[in-house]
C-alpha cells in the first residue's frame, strides 16, 4: 500500500491586496448576488468570468420550484459566455455569495461539483489554467486553476 497526499495551493488575500483586474471581477460577482432568484434556499450566488477578448460575463443562481430545474451562478455564467462568445477563452472566474441572512458570507464558498465539472470543461477549451477567485467579506482565496478545485476530475482525456 502506498499512502499519498494531495495538496492544493492557494493564496488568501484581502480585497485591498487585489490588483484592478481581480477587484473588478470580485465587484461584479458581489453585485450579481443581488440578481439571484433564490426564493427557496435564500442563498444568493454571483459569478463573473473574464474572457480573453476583454469581455466579462456574469451569472447568478436561478432556482425553480421543480428542483433541480434551476441553475447555479457559475453555470449560468459559463454557459452564457460559451453561447455569446464561443471562440473566447476563459481567463478567470470570481464567485461570491450571500447567506440566508442576506449578508455576504464572511468566508469564501466553493462551487458545487456540477459547476466545478462544467467550469473545468471551459478550462480545457481554453488550453491553459483559469484562475479561480473565491470571495468572502473577510478573506478572498485565489486558486491557480479550476482543476485545483477538482483534482481527480473526469475528462475526455482521462
Alpha helices in 42-94 (DSSP H): 73-84
Cell of 158: 482521462
Look at residue 2 and tell me if it is in a domain. Answer: no
Residue 28: CATH number of its domain: 3.40.140.10
> pLDDT for 11-42, tens place per residue?
999 999 999 999 999 999 999 999 999 999 99
Structural domain boundaries, residue 82: 11-149
In the block, residue with C-alpha cell 466553493: 110
Look at residue 154 and tell me if it is in a domain. Answer: no
Q: Which residues are known to be catalytic?
A: 74
10-residue stretch averages of pLDDT, the chain, 158 residues long: 94 97 98 97 97 98 91 97 98 97 96 95 96 98 96 71
pTM above 0.75, yes or no: yes
DSSP 108-156: --PPPHHHHHHHHHHHHHHTS--EEEEE-SS-EEEES-SGGG-TT---T
Amino acid at each position: 500500500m502506498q499512502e499519498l497526499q494531495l495538496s492544493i495551493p492557494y493564496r488568501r488575500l484581502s480585497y485591498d491586496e487585489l490588483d484592478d483586474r481581480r477587484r473588478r471581477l470580485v465587484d461584479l460577482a458581489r453585485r450579481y448576488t443581488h440578481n439571484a432568484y433564490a426564493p427557496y434556499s435564500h442563498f444568493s450566488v454571483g459569478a463573473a468570468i473574464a474572457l480573453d477578448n476583454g469581455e466579462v460575463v456574469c451569472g447568478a443562481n436561478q432556482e425553480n420550484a421543480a428542483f433541480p430545474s434551476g441553475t447555479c451562478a457559475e453555470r449560468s455564467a459559463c454557459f452564457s459566455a460559451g453561447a455569446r462568445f464561443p471562440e473566447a477563452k476563459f481567463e478567470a472566474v470570481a464567485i461570491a455569495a450571500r447567506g440566508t441572512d442576506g449578508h455576504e458570507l464572511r468566508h469564501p464558498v466553493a462551487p458545487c461539483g456540477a459547476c466545478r465539472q462544467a467550469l473545468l470543461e471551459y478550462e480545457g477549451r481554453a488550453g491553459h489554467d483559469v484562475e479561480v477567485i473565491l470571495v468572502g467579506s473577510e478573506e478572498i482565496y485565489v486558486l491557480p486553476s479550476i482543476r485545483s478545485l477538482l483534482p481527480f476530475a473526469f475528462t475526455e482525456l482521462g
